[in-house]
Structure 1
Amino acid sequence: MENTKHFNFKYILSISMISALGGLLFGYDWVVIGGAKPFYERFFGISEIPHLQGWAMGSALIGCIVGAAIAGKVTERFGRKKPLGLAAFLFVVSAAGTGWFNDFNLFIVFRVLGGLGIGLASTISPMYIAEVSPSIYRGRLVSLNQLAIVIGILAAQFINFFIADVVPDNMTDLEIMNSWNGQTGWRWMFWAELVPAFLFFVLIFGIPESPRWLSKNKKMDLSKKVLLSIGGKDYAEDVQKEINETLQETASALSLKKLFKGKNRSLIIIGIILAFLQQWCGINVVFNYAEEVFASAGYGVSDALFNIILTGIVNLVFTLIAMQVIDRWGRKSLWLMGSLGLCTLYVFIGLFYFFELKGFALVVLIVAAIAVYALTLAPVFWVLASEIFPNKIRGAAMSITTTSLWLACFLLTYSFPILNKTMGTYGTFWVYAGICVLCFLFVKYKIPETKNKTLEEIEDLW
Structure 2
Amino acid sequence: MVNKNSYFYIVLITLVATLGGLLFGYDTAVISGAEGSLQAYFSEGLGLSSLVHGITVSSALIGCIIGGFISGYFATNFGRKYSLIIAAVLFLISALGSAFPEFLFFTKGEPTYALLITFNIYRIIGGIGVGLASAISPMYIGEMAPPKIRGTLVSLNQFAVIFGMLVVYFVNWGIAKGQTVEWLNDIGWRYMFLSESIPAILFLVLLFTVPETPRYLVSKNQDEKAMSVLSRIYEKTMAKATMFEIKASFNENKKKATLFTFGKKIVVIGILLSVFQQFVGINVALYYAPRIFESMGAARDASMFQTIIMGLVNVVFTLIAIFTVDKFGRKPLLIIGSVGMTVGMFGVAAMAFSNKIGIATLIFIIIYTASFMMSWGPVVWVLISEIFPNRVRAQAVAIAVAAQWAANYFISSTYPAMMEVSGGLTYSFYGIMSLLSALFIWKFVPETKGRSLEELEKILVNSQKKEEDVA
TM-score in same-fold range (> 0.5): yes
**Distance in 1, Cα, partners of 2:271 & 2:129:** 21
- Alpha-carbon deviation of 1:405? 0.5
Q: 1:366-398 deviations in whole A, cap 9, x for unaligned?
A: 112111111011011000000000011111111
Q: Give the partner amino acid of 2:435.
A: V
Q: Is the 8 A contact 2:87 2:132 kept in 1?
A: yes
**Distance in 2, Cα, partners of 1:438 & 1:203:** 41
**Distance in 1, Cα, partners of 2:92 & 2:305:** 27
Q: Give the partner amino acid of 1:65.
A: I
Q: Is the 8 A contact 1:250 1:392 kept in 2?
A: no
User: What's the C-alpha RMSD, in Å, of the aligned pairs?
Assistant: 1.4
* Unaligned runs of at least 5 residues, structure 1: 169-175
**Distance in 1, Cα, partners of 2:303 & 2:253:** 54
- Alpha-carbon deviation of 1:295? 2.4
Counterpart secondary structure, 1:449: coil
Q: What residue is the counterpart of 2:82 in the other structure?
A: 82
* Residues 35-434 of structure 1 mapped to structure 2, 5 A cutoff: 35-46=33-44, 49-102=49-102, 103-166=115-178, 176=181, 179-254=182-257, 258-261=258-261, 263-422=262-421, 424-434=422-432
**Distance in 2, Cα, partners of 1:38 & 1:50:** 12
* Residues 4-15 of structure 1 mapped to structure 2, 5 A cutoff: 4=2, 6=4, 8-15=6-13
Q: 1:318-348 deviations in whole A, cap 9, x for unaligned?
A: 1112111110011000001111111111111
Q: Is the 8 A contact 1:7 1:232 kept in 2?
A: no
- Alpha-carbon deviation of 1:88? 0.2
Q: Is the 8 A contact 2:2 2:233 kept in 1?
A: no
Q: Give the partner amino acid of 2:253.
A: T
- Alpha-carbon deviation of 1:4? 4.2
Q: What residue is the counterpart of 1:34 in the other structure?
A: 32
Q: Give the partner amino acid of 1:239.
A: T
- Alpha-carbon deviation of 1:51? 1.3
Q: 1:4 and 1:229, CA in 2 relative to 1: closer, same or farther beyond 3 A?
A: closer
Counterpart secondary structure, 2:234: helix
- Alpha-carbon deviation of 1:191? 0.5
- Alpha-carbon deviation of 1:48? 6.4
- Alpha-carbon deviation of 1:165? 3.8
**Distance in 1, Cα, partners of 2:78 & 2:252:** 22
Q: What residue is the counterpart of 1:435 in the other structure?
A: 433
Counterpart among 12, 16, 19 of residue 17 in structure 2: 19
- Alpha-carbon deviation of 1:232? 2.6
Q: Give the partner amino acid of 2:385.
A: S
Counterpart secondary structure, 1:451: coil
Q: Give the partner amino acid of 1:377.
A: W
Q: What residue is the counterpart of 1:173 in the other structure?
A: none
Q: Give the partner amino acid of 1:448.
A: P
**Distance in 2, Cα, partners of 1:461 & 1:285:** 37
Q: Is the 8 A contact 1:165 1:181 kept in 2?
A: no
**Distance in 2, Cα, partners of 1:280 & 1:44:** 28
Q: Give the partner amino acid of 2:7.
A: F
Counterpart secondary structure, 1:206: coil
- Alpha-carbon deviation of 1:5? 5.1
Q: 1:143 and 1:150, CA in 2 relative to 1: closer, same or farther beyond 3 A?
A: same
Runs of 4+ in 1 over 6 A off after TM superposition: none
**Distance in 1, Cα, partners of 2:441 & 2:429:** 19
**Distance in 2, Cα, partners of 1:31 & 1:120:** 17
Q: Give the partner amino acid of 1:295.
A: E
- Alpha-carbon deviation of 1:53? 1.1
**Distance in 2, Cα, partners of 1:337 & 1:316:** 18
**Distance in 2, Cα, partners of 1:99 & 1:362:** 33
* Residues 448-459 of structure 1 mapped to structure 2, 5 A cutoff: 448-459=446-457
- Alpha-carbon deviation of 1:437? 1.6
Q: Give the partner amino acid of 1:391.
A: N
Q: Is the 8 A contact 1:165 1:180 kept in 2?
A: no
Q: 1:251-280 deviations in whole A, cap 9, x for unaligned?
A: 2333xxx3124x332111111111100111
**Distance in 2, Cα, partners of 1:243 & 1:339:** 35
Q: Is the 8 A contact 2:89 2:200 kept in 1?
A: yes
Counterpart secondary structure, 2:357: coil
The two structures have a TM-score, normalised by structure 2, of 0.92
**Distance in 2, Cα, partners of 1:48 & 1:329:** 49
Q: Give the partner amino acid of 1:437.
A: L
* Unaligned runs of at least 5 residues, structure 2: 103-114, 461-471
Q: What residue is the counterpart of 2:463 in the other structure?
A: none
**Distance in 2, Cα, partners of 1:45 & 1:284:** 21
Higher mean alpha-carbon deviation, 71-80 vs 296-305, is at 296-305
**Distance in 2, Cα, partners of 1:186 & 1:28:** 14
Higher mean alpha-carbon deviation, 50-59 vs 329-338, is at 50-59
Q: Is the 8 A contact 1:126 1:382 kept in 2?
A: yes
Q: Is the 8 A contact 2:342 2:368 kept in 1?
A: no
Q: Give the partner amino acid of 2:241.
A: D
Q: 1:3-32 deviations in whole A, cap 9, x for unaligned?
A: 345461110011111011000001000000
Q: Is the 8 A contact 1:62 1:410 kept in 2?
A: yes
**Distance in 1, Cα, partners of 2:277 & 2:116:** 31
